[in-house]
């Protein structure tokens, strides 16, 4: 049993100064069978600690229904077995380029004041923490576990200034048994540090460069306490339709050295990024400080240009960091663990069946209802997935513009069974007017809820109504298709695969020899989701920069493996608006290809050096 405390200048373990050399690794972005290997990689890099967030929405999919909360406890046990300490950041908000910043859709769609003293927010937070915290409390360092510190909220100064809420949250952590030191983390700016700080709670800062300036700003607000960069942004994340972002390894190592020369502790964000499996990738908004600009959905890969790449392999940045960190280690660093096995040979899937989106919706979709105005995803209890809206245009009437007011995010629109266009936020009106009478069908897909900024928690779907000219169209029929409903497609009736790459659910098999880590490529497919053996790999999109989906080796098995692909748009050459909206690259999609990782990176695009000016 040990005691970890916060001194005036140092962290103290059993009364002796200790420097935390930590790395972020999210247990929910790494297959559980690979935790041990990834933790071993962190230790070999020279780290003595690992940090993880906890995504509330993953573990409480509906109010009071909890899903595998013990997964965090199992991860912390793996941390202890690896000989590392742990920092836990339970939120309730986490950002992390994760769907809705970790907040449940059923809460953010209810009109409550998020991240505030609003009792409608506090009550579900209290219920969630009372379920979660036993996993942490039992594994604190004073009880023989690895947990040294627990965070209060997350970068709250970037969002709000409700000191009553922050104090309530800190008191809740204490009341539920957290006795290790608490801390906050914010950007090194005065409004962030004053808005996000809690009196008596250690303050840490997040940045990607200029450590001396950042720590000087922190000292201006907190003259005492250990210095720590809780998020050293050593890489960055990618958005669909943008370039792949990288950071020069030598420049990043120099920034890390500066942090350590200041006598500070550090947490590498990310040490190993992993993958946003299951369609859990979030989204950001451009537009400067107020983040009111266009939606920027995050790609499935969370490689983050981290020192340990998406497959757990050391990069040049790993070796540069290892060299810097070795000077601060207690002894020689352990050998780097051998890389996990990879797929023995590439294999092409044989597509054996297809079901239209309507067929899939009838088999596994939610209940259908009729509404005066189009309901949001939240009202239909859809966290990740699609919603189909149907409405009639009365007639006879002349052709007039059809608009999906307040559309989020992408919509494929058909008029009388013929596709009329692909619309997006900011491009909400069909190019060709619609005459009445007509039947309009709209399939809307959420590209990920905003995970950072004032628009976190905004609703999804058609949020402002369906308009014919200026007239609202009432009597909207709507039905949701949750992504997790497709984890088992046994009830979906399949027919032979049609020619032409129509939207729908495709089912096939791929025969594997030498199972191991792999990538799934979908040449000519436009946008959708893929599964292997019922495990959702996440979203693919021909817009790039991600060109393939990572398949963890434990998901594959020798011999036949099932592959399911939900294609949301198709790759029809007769829809030029589709090419403009999603960048389709082929008229007819080719069968998915499972290939070994060594052949190429799943990310492409021009390199861009980024020191970091945002948030994790």
Total structural domains within the chain: 3
Question: What pLDDT does residue 600 have?
Answer: 55
CB of 429 within 8 A of CB of 369? no
Q: Identify the pLDDT of residue 575.
A: 25
Q: Mark whether 302 and 178 lie in a shared domain.
A: yes
DSSP 3-state percent helix, strand, coil across the chain (nearest 5)? 25, 30, 45
In a domain, 3, yes or no: no
Residue 277's pLDDT band (cuts 50, 70, 90): very high
229: which 2 tokens?
């960069």
Highest mean pLDDT among 297-311, 488-502, 560-574: 297-311
CATH code (residue 48): 3.20.20.80
Same domain, 526 and 417: no
Q: Which residues are catalytic?
A: 155, 231
> Does residue 313 have a pLDDT over 60?
yes
Contacts (Cβ under 8 Å, ≥6 apart) of 434: 393, 399, 400, 401, 402, 415, 420, 440, 468
Boundary-marking domain end, from 465, 484, 503: 484
DSSP one-letter string for 212-261: HHHHHHHHHH-SSS--EEEEEE-S---BTTSPPP---HHHHHHHHHHHHH
Dihedral sign from CA coordinates of 598, 604, 606, 607: negative
Across 442-471, average pLDDT:
97
pLDDT tier, 605 (very low <50, low <70, confident <90, very high otherwise): low
Is residue 510 located within the same domain as residue 552?
A: yes
Averaged over 589-601, what is the pLDDT? Answer: 82
* 414 shares a domain with 529: no
Over the stretch 175-208, which tens digit does the pLDDT of each residue have? 999 999 999 999 999 999 999 999 999 999 999 9
Statement to judge: residues 470 and 517 lie in one domain? no
287 domain residue, yes or no: no
- Give me the percent of the chain exceeding a pLDDT of 90: 91
Do 393 and 446 touch, CB atoms closer than 8 A? Answer: no
Same domain assignment for residues 238 and 365? no
Mean pLDDT of 227-235: 98
Residue 109 CA from chain centroid, whole number: 19
Instruction: Find out whether the peptide bond into 396 is cis, omega within 30 degrees of 0.
Output: yes
Between CA 258 and CA 250 the distance in angstroms is 13
Pairing of strands 295-297, 283-285: antiparallel
Q: Is there a single domain that holds both residue 427 and residue 311?
A: no
Domain ranges, residue 567? 347-355+489-599
Beta strands in 401-458 (DSSP E): 402-408, 410-415, 418-424, 434-445
Instruction: Give the Cβ contact number of residue 590 at 10 Å.
Output: 16
pLDDT over threshold 60, residue 314: yes
Query: CA-CA distance, 528 to 104, in Å (whole number)?
Result: 22
**pTM (two decimals):** 0.95
Q: What angle in degrees, to the nearest 10, is found between the helix axes of 35-45 and 316-326?
A: 50
Asked if residues 153 and 54 have their Cβ atoms less than 8 Å apart, the reply is no
- For residue 558, being part of any structural domain is answered with yes
- Distance from the Cα of residue 567 to its chain's centroid: 21
Query: Both 148 and 213 in a single domain?
Result: yes
Tell me what percent of the residues of the chain surpass a pLDDT of 70. Answer: 95
For residues 303 and 465, the answer to whether their CB atoms sit within 8 Å is no
Q: In the predicted model, is pLDDT for residue 301 greater than 80?
A: yes
588, pLDDT greater than 80:
no
DSSP annotation of 289 reads G
Q: What is the mean pLDDT of the chain?
A: 94
Q: Is residue 561 part of a domain?
A: yes
pLDDT of residue 109: 85
pLDDT of residue 296: 97
Q: What is the pLDDT of residue 615?
A: 52
Residues 6+ apart with CB under 8 A from 257: 324
Q: Is residue 582 very low, low, confident or very high in pLDDT (cuts 50, 70, 90)?
A: very low
- Distance between CA 444 and CA 151 in Å, rounded? 37
Question: How far is Cα 593 from Cα 519, in angstroms, rounded to an integer?
Answer: 8
The verdict on 368 and 227 lying in the same domain is no
Length of the chain: 616
Q: Do 555 and 275 form a contact (C-beta atoms < 8 A)? A: no
Kindly indicate the confidence band of residue 611, based on its pLDDT and cuts at 50, 70 and 90.
very low
In a domain, 88, yes or no: yes
Q: Do 25 and 49 belong to one domain?
A: yes
CATH of the domain at 379: 2.60.120.260
Q: What is the pLDDT of residues 474-486, one digit of tens each?
A: 999 999 999 999 9
Span of 190-204, 346-360, 417-431, 590-604 with lowest mean pLDDT: 590-604
Q: Is the pLDDT of residue 308 over 50?
A: yes
Same domain, 480 and 502: no
pLDDT for residue 545: 97
Whether residues 94 and 145 fall in one domain: yes
Residue 397, token pair as written in the block: 């009437």
Which DSSP state fits 379? T
Question: How many other C-beta atoms lie within 10 A of the C-beta of residue 512?
Answer: 21
* Predicted local distance difference test score (pLDDT) of residue 576: 23
Return all residues near 330 (Cβ < 8 A) that are at least 6 apart: none
Are 314 and 307 contacting, i.e. CB atoms less than 8 angstroms apart? yes
Residue 609 predicted with pLDDT over 70: no
pLDDT at 362 over 50: yes
Report yes or no on 391 lying in a domain: yes
């Amino acid at each position: 049993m040990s005691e970890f405390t916060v001194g005036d200048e140092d962290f103290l373990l059993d009364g002796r100064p200790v420097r935390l050399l930590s790395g972020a690794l999210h247990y929910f972005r790494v297959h559980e069978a690979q935790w041990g290997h990834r933790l071993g990689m962190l230790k070999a890099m020279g780290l003595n600690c690992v940090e993880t967030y906890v995504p509330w929405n993953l573990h409480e999919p509906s109010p009071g229904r909890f899903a595998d909360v013990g997964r965090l406890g199992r991860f912390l046990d793996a941390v202890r077995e690896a000989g590392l300490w742990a920092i836990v950041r339970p939120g309730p908000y986490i950002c992390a380029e994760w769907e809705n910043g970790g907040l449940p859709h059923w809460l953010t769609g209810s009109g409550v004041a998020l991240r505030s003293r609003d009792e409608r927010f506090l009550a579900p937070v209290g219920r969630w923490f009372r379920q979660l915290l036993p996993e942490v409390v039992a594994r604190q360092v004073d009880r023989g576990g690895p947990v040294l510190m627990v965070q209060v909220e997350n970068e709250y100064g970037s969002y709000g200034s409700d000191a009553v809420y922050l104090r309530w949250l800190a008191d809740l952590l204490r009341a539920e048994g957290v006795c290790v030191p608490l801390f906050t983390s914010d950007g090194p700016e005065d409004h962030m540090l004053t808005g996000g700080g809690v009196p008596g709670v250690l303050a840490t800062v997040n940045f990607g460069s200029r450590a001396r300036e950042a720590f000087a700003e922190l000292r201006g607000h907190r003259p005492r306490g250990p210095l720590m960069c809780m998020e050293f942004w050593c890489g960055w994340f990618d958005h669909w339709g943008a370039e792949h972002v990288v950071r020069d390894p030598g420049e990043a190592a120099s920034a890390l050295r500066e942090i350590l020369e200041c006598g500070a502790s550090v947490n590498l964000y990310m040490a190993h990024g992993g993958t946003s499996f299951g369609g859990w990738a979030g989204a950001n908004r451009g537009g400067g400080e107020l983040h009111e600009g266009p939606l920027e959905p995050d790609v499935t890969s969370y490689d983050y240009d981290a020192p340990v790449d998406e497959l757990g392999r050391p990069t040049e940045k790993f070796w540069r960091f290892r060299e810097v960190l070795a000077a601060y280690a207690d002894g020689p660093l352990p050998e780097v663990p051998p890389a996990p096995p990879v797929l023995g040979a590439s294999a092409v899937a044989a597509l054996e069946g297809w079901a239209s989106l309507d067929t899939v919706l009838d088999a596994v979709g939610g209940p259908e209802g009729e509404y005066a105005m189009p309901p949001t995803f939240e009202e239909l209890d859809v966290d990740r997935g699609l919603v189909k809206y149907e409405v009639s245009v009365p007639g006879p009437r002349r052709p007039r513009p059809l608009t999906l007011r307040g559309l989020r995010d992408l919509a494929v629109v058909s008029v009388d069974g013929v596709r009329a266009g692909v619309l997006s936020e900011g491009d909400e009106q069909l190019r060709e007017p619609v005459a009445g009478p007509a039947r309009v069908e709209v399939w809307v897909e959420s590209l990920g809820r905003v995970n950072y900024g004032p628009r976190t928690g905004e609703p999804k779907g058609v949020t402002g109504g369906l308009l014919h000219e200026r007239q609202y169209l009432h009597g909207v029929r709507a039905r949701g298709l949750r992504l997790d409903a497709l984890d088992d497609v046994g009830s979906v009736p399949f027919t032979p695969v049609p020619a032409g790459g129509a939207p729908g659910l495709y089912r096939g098999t791929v025969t594997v020899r030498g199972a191991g880590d792999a990538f799934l490529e979908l040449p000519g497919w436009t946008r959708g989701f893929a599964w292997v053996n019922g495990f959702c790999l996440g979203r693919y999109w021909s817009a790039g920069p991600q060109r393939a989906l990572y398949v963890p080796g434990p998901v594959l098995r020798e011999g036949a493996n099932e592959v399911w692909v939900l294609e949301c748009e198709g790759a029809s050459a007769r829809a030029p608006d589709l090419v403009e909206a999603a960048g389709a690259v082929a008229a007819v999609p080719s069968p998915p290809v499972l290939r070994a990782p060594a052949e190429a990176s799943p990310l492409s695009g021009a390199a861009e050096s980024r020191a970091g000016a945002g948030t994790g």
